[in-house]
Amino acid sequence: MRRILYIITAVALLLGSCSADKKAIESDKVVIAYVTSWSSVIPDPAHITHINYAFGHVTNSFDGVRIDNPERLKAMVALKEVKPELKVMLSVGGWGSGRFSEMAATDANRKSFAKDCLRVVEEFGLDGIDIDWEYPTSDAAGISASPEDTDNFTLLMKELRKALPAGKLLTMASVATAEYVNFKEVIQYLDFVNIMTYDMASAPKHHSGMYRSEMSPGITCEEGIMAHFEAGVPMEKLVFGMPFYGRASGALEGFNDYKSLIQLPTDKFTAEWDDTAKAPYLVEVASGNVVCTYDDPRSIAIKCDYIAEKGMKGAMYWDYDGDTEDHTLARAVWDGVMNHQ
């Protein structure tokens, strides 16, 4: 019954907003939406080429895949009934999702895990697997880690590539700094790399600023992309990650979805623009402090211009549920990527 309701809702959305875009269908550019298991929102796929469903996890036995809310994953796949060209992938991992190190450490576990990924792809009718190990050799997320993780990550990607049938996608999410992975070795097995060019700081620093300014932290989006290119990833395999949320301090401490940021009272918070970083930010009127940094349609358009200029694969965003009801940011990403064809 839940699946039927999901489909009915999706069809209703599509009747209102999803028209066939021949140019987009024929394009090899990607616009990837991460859709979470814990949200109840059904995406309108009109402005999406790929859905990365978050998340699956390595099993406690280190040799298989466990999926959060599998019924919701089925609902994502059901959207292909109204947009057949839509690709739906399972993203395995996420911040704090562990057991990767143990799984990747042995040939037997890698093979069993890859075989189970194939089972999931076939059982759910998926288009591929996205690996979001955060991060090989790092225990910052409270997960186990080993110095051998980087080499074992390459072996894992090789095993997954062997297990997945021709035409199925294998991708990964990568930290902005391009650390932890030997891209020169691993890129041969990957269709593309989703760069998490966000979470690079919190206010008063930009967490996803395009270029370096006085408000930039240790790295910017441009520097992150170039770090991946210099590490061995061709531009045509790089996907520019964009946040649908802000990172705040002070009065707005924490993570704030874009849809909530634009509803803040303007007498208490004012939107400003860093024309060097090409990024918006919010200032608290009472204190004069920068309290939130984020992306908006203006900064997204500039990032999409960069995608076109550099010949990148496209854009992805985390996450769909952070957008407004009329899909302000999703439309901005789609128009920015596809209008450069």
Q: Give the tens place of pLDDT for each residue, 249-304.
A: 999 999 999 999 999 999 999 999 999 999 999 999 999 999 999 999 999 999 99
Q: 134 catalytic, yes or no?
A: yes
Q: Which of 26, 122, 134, 253 is catalytic?
A: 134
Q: Give the tens place of pLDDT for each residue, 173-221.
A: 999 999 999 999 999 999 999 999 999 999 999 999 999 999 999 999 9
* The CATH number, out of the four listed (3.40.140.80, 3.40.50.10540, 3.20.20.80, 2.102.10.10), of the domain defined by the range 2-244+297-338: 3.20.20.80
**Bridge partner list, 53:** 35, 90
Question: What confidence score (pLDDT) does residue 107 get?
Answer: 98
Question: What confidence score (pLDDT) does residue 25 get?
Answer: 54
Question: What confidence score (pLDDT) does residue 126 get?
Answer: 98
- pLDDT higher than threshold 70 for residue 22: no
- Return the H-helix or E-strand segment holding 271: strand 269-274
Lowest model confidence (mean pLDDT) among 25-29, 143-147, 302-306? 25-29
pLDDT classification of 24: cutoffs 50, 70, 90: low
Q: To 10 degrees, what angle do helices 70-78 and 2-17 make?
A: 40
pLDDT classification of 10: cutoffs 50, 70, 90: very low
Q: Give the tens place of pLDDT for each residue, 233-262.
A: 999 999 999 999 999 999 999 999 999 999
Question: What confidence score (pLDDT) does residue 27 get?
Answer: 72
Q: Phi/psi of residue 64, each to 5°?
A: -160, -170
Question: What confidence score (pLDDT) does residue 340 get?
Answer: 67
Q: Could you write out the three-class secondary structure of 272-339?
A: EEECCCCEEEEEECCCCCEEEECCCHHHHHHHHHHHHHHCCCEEEEECHHHCCCCCHHHHHHHHHHHC
Q: Give the tens place of pLDDT for each residue, 73-122.
A: 999 999 999 999 999 999 999 999 999 999 999 999 999 999 999 999 99
